[in-house]
Chain A
Amino acid sequence: MSFVVLDGVRKRWSDTVTVGPVSLDIARGEILALLGPSGSGKTTILRLLAGLEPPDAGRLVIDGEDVTLLPPARRRCGMVFQHYALFPHLDVGENVGFGLAARARPERDRQIADALALVDLAGFERRKPHELSGGQQQRVAVARALAPEPRVLLLDEPLSNLDPTLRERTRRELRGVIKRVGITSVFVTHEQEEAFDLGDRVAVLHRGRLEQLGSADELYERPASLFVATFVGRANVLRGATARALAGGSDGQVLVVRPERLRFAPHGLPGVVTERRYLGGAAFFQVDTERGERLEVLAEPDAARVGERVHVETTGVMTFPEEHE
């Protein structure tokens, strides 16, 4: 039984920019990542869920209730904003208690304390938002969204404003908090690693359409489209004669090969190693073929040297029909 349902939801911004129609089912307690390049419509879908934008068509259902026409204030969706949107005139406690205004004082204070403890900020009630570090602000934003016990938690690029060094740790902590609360969550990101790490499933969006919905493995191993194949993970995209030379196949098809699916061999496509990027356990080799194409090969660090003439063969390819712009 799906907890959150988007059914043919569509939002038209202009003659050329439309998001949807998108249909999605999200299970209770699931964390769904909306992944896509900028302008793919992922934030629009999040805002449609929150009720901050009205859809032009389609239906939104949360826990069996049709919420399509419900204003944001009555949807009970907690939201963490990209820049957190902490109220600058209120302290941390008042921010977290904002959504609890209707409750009695002692209960409210207890809930504020609980929410802050959940994000490891116990005792921060009287601080002002501007006195906190970026990571602390992010956690206050999460605590504030969770405090009124919403049905769904929505997060708009929750980690994009953090230091890269802080991001990975915060990501794990965030997943821990969400799983502990057990709340159904949807978050937006344009970073694949974040989507894979934080989401139970990932929805890949492209130009307002849902390209594929699946686990990280499925997206990587069995991409449904050329876009997903190239957007998720590294990929060599080959067309025409080079494609035929490497793996046979026919015209009008596009060949996608992961770097780890290429290897150096005594026979195969000839080329010259032009660059080597050392990663530790392995290395990326850039091979320029005689036809002027560029291949990326993942292999043992000592598999080849820069300037060496090599032959490249493949252990697995994916083929897609050509996508026209």
Chain B
Amino acid sequence: MNARAWPRALLTVLLGWLVLYPILVVAREAGRADALAAFATRPGEWTALWASIWISVASVALAAAIGVPLAFLFEWLEFPGRKTLGALIVLPAVLPPFVGVIAFLFLYGESGFVARAVQGLFGLQRAPWRLQGAGAILLVHAYSMYVYFYLFTRAGLAKLDASLVEAAQTLGAGRWQTLWRVTFPLLRPALAGAALLVFMTALGSFSAPYVFGGGLRVMTTQIVATKLNGELSLAMVETTALAVVAVLGLVLLRRTEGDDLLTALGKGTAPRRRPIRRPGVRAVATTAGWLLAALLLLPHLTLALVSLVPYGSWTTETLPPVLSLVNYQRLFGEPERLRPLANSLAMAAVSTTAAIVLALAAGALVGRRPAGRSRGPIAGLMTLPWALPGTVFAVALATTFSVHSPLTLRWVLVGTTLLLPLAYLVRSLPVTGNAVLAGYRQLDPALDEAAASLGAGRWATFRRVTLPLLKPALAAGASLAFVAALGDFVTSIVLYTYDNRPISIEIMSSLRVSELGVAAAFGVILMVVSALVLGLGARR
């Protein structure tokens, strides 16, 4: 029995209560015969579950189809503007999901800029299309999720040793053969990792199906609808079903990941970028690159433009006739309108701080264990929320904390302002936990021992050596957690109260009353703050 056994047990229990317990409560409540029968017999349920699965798989395919070729292009070829474009191409990532969806609505929606332009061009009586259904959802998913494939593949390619490719060529393999027999097999872990991330994100995606779904229901929107209908037991069954699919997907995709041979082989020299020599081809490639960047930036620009449109001033024109800062003035001038912003900032700050504290505690207790050894239930519990869609956690927390039963560690938090930040905290645990645990793994244990031999006690060592060395990891984890909480819509829509309504909910209510400009202004603020925080977190 060592001195850390007690704190370790305590942290395990706390994390178990936060992360695992609510899921178990839901699973138990789902085990009611009438609810199970309702789920099994209603065709709508199976349709929604199936839609969730096939849309997620299709999202993976689409994101890969865009992200992987782009990664090869930027990693292997040299052309003017490659660096700038390569950075711009990750822009969809700084758009919080719900804000991205709103931007798409303004841009490609029934009365968006593109539809209006087409309508005006051909003199059509009505909008040429409606942005609705599976196609619309997939469009948003492809736009926001190809970044994972792009980044993972580029990282994999950068680790690829040029001599491996050259060896294949000296053995007589042509360019395509080398690609199929050497490059892709070595990239498998990177591709599988990206596929996993996209699948999980798409499965948990709520904003796109909620806004663009129309008649199409996926499991996340189905759960929220069922809950609003008051069929709580059925909502539990649906939540459990979605959780099961998520875990199955996780297990299946982890299987295909395989060993990371590139890392095992050690770092080689990445192949040198091949310049595009023919001037004509180069001009075309460069133009295409900038057009692509413009296309990727359009949603951001749209949002900025719409945020400048005063209420009621834009009716049938292709472009808004009046632009002014009136929306921002109203937003910052009326305390009641500023409330959601203050709420979101405060809740994100509190939940991120708490998640960082828990991650640091986990790091101090199990972070030093060598790579081979298990980090035990603590690390597992911290990662669990990543494997489950946000809706699942929102419903689980709402269910668990709607009962006053201190003996089973349940209190009534539903309807209080505490529950939403608690949900943000749970959802932040994987990202802060991963960052801090990875940071701990890179610390040289001799540094601690050196500090001790120089007279520093445990706390002084933590404050003077460990914490400063963990700073980059902490900044990265905290910024990601903060941005996710700030832009959250999935859990907020289930758990918010009027007093702690966050920005995303305010955007939704503004849209309901057709205050597009105000909604867009909130979106712009969210986007700018997110980009700033992410930039701060990435600074070395």
Contact = CB atoms under 8 A, between A and B. Distances in A.
A74 interface: yes
B446 A72 contact: no
Given A73-B457, A76-B455, A148-B455, A85 B469 contact: no
A87 B444 CA distance: 10
A79 interface: yes
Interface string B455-482: 1110010001100110100000000000
B453 A79 contact: yes
Given A87-B465, A99-B454, A99-B455, A72 B444 contact: no
A72 B464 CA distance: 16
Using C-beta atoms within 8 Å of the partner chain, give the interface range for chain B: 10 to 19
Interface of B is mostly: helix
Given A52-B449, A85-B450, A87-B450, A73 B455 contact: yes
B447 interface: yes
A199 interface: no
B454 A98 contact: yes
A87 B457 contact: no
Contacts, number: 68
Most chain A beta-carbon contacts within 10 A, residue among B450, B453, B455: B453
A144 B464 CA distance: 15
Nearest to A94: B464
Given A87-B465, A88-B469, A89-B469, A79 B449 contact: yes
B439 to A, nearest CB: 13
B451 interface: yes
A293 B450 CA distance: 50
Contact of B451 (A50, A89, A98, A154): A98
Nearest to B456: A73
A198 interface: no
Interface in A241-280: none
Contacts of B450: 79, 81, 85-87, 144
Contacts of B464: 98, 101
Contact of B452 (A52, A86, A102, A154): A52
Interface in A87-108: 87-89, 98-99, 101-102
A77 B453 contact: yes
A74 B455 contact: yes
B452 A83 contact: no
A73 B452 CA distance: 5
B449 A148 contact: no
B195 to A, nearest CB: 36
A85 B447 contact: yes
A82 B446 CA distance: 9
A86 B465 CA distance: 10
Interface string A53-95: 0000000000000000001111111110111011111000000
A81 B454 contact: no
A163 B352 CA distance: 47
Contacts of A74: 455
A145 interface: yes
B468 to A, nearest CB: 5
B386 to A, nearest CB: 30
Interface in A11-52: 50-52
Contacts of A73: 452-457, 460
Nearest to A75: B453
Contacts of A77: 453
A280 B234 CA distance: 93
A83 B455 contact: no
Contacts of A83: 444, 446
Contact of A144 (B446, B452, B454): B454
A103 to B, nearest CB: 11
B469 A72 contact: no
B456 A98 contact: yes
Interface of B: 444, 446-447, 449-457, 460, 464-465, 468-469, 471
9 contacts: A50-B453, A73-B460, A76-B455, A81-B446, A83-B444, A86-B450, A87-B451, A101-B456, A101-B460
Given A73-B452, A81-B449, A87-B469, 10 more contacts: A78-B453, A87-B447, A88-B469, A89-B468, A89-B471, A98-B464, A99-B455, A101-B455, A144-B454, A145-B453
